[in-house]
Chains A and B, each alone.
Chain A
Amino acid sequence: MNQQVTNALTALAGLFIVTWIGFEVSRRRHKLRELFDVLDKGDRNLTLQLEKLVQENEIKPL
């Protein structure tokens, strides 16, 4: 009986650690992508506006 309880607790602890690792890796990945990433569809509006500013001579290079 004691052995069964120990096994169950060990399995539970293992599951907890694996879940935590997955969560932490995913959190760090998300944070990194928020900081630095390639341009995607979500950046389209922003990029269009920037190009428009250049084409309309609203901004000049430093």
Chain B
Amino acid sequence: MSDSLLATTPRFRLFIVNTGWHSDATEVVEENLENFKALMGPIPVYALSKEQSRQVLLSDPDRVGTDPCFLLIDQHASGGQGANGYHGFRLSLGRATSKSEALEIFQTFTRFIVTHMSSTDIERQVRKRLKKEGFQNVFEVLKNVV
């Protein structure tokens, strides 16, 4: 991306893809969207319509049924769009198995973005977090064995 385009493009864009499954995750998103939007501050939040969401998910059938999905795209990350792919991360909240779990995951996701939105490399923060969660999983499994 050219420097002039970088200057006029917001660093992040957040997309909400939701085809409208009658699920706990959809309820959690609908009930907390206003709060979420307010907490995102300068990050533009785009909520796709149900029809747009269906069209988008049809381009990636593996993701069907995992919505509501959140995709945060970092437009300024090194490599940018193109051969190196896009930068950012996603949350597939439709994978949550209960309303309380969906809410907890949504809150954790929101906190993560708010905490790291000024980080120069947010993907690195995501990887660190995943590594930390991975270690916690190992300890939990070992604890169950013991």
Contacts and interface: CB of A to CB of B under 8 A. Distances in A.
Given A29-B137, A54-B46, A59-B52, A47 B71 contact: yes
A36 B90 contact: yes
Q: Which of B60, B123, B126, B140 has the most CB of A within 10 A?
A: B60
Interface in B65-105: 66, 71, 73, 81, 85-93, 95-96, 105
A36 B109 contact: yes
A45 B95 CA distance: 21
Contacts of A1: none
Interface of A is mostly: helix
Interface residues of A, number: 34
A3 B45 CA distance: 67
B141 interface: yes
Interface of A: 17, 20-21, 24-25, 28-29, 31-47, 49-51, 53-54, 58-62
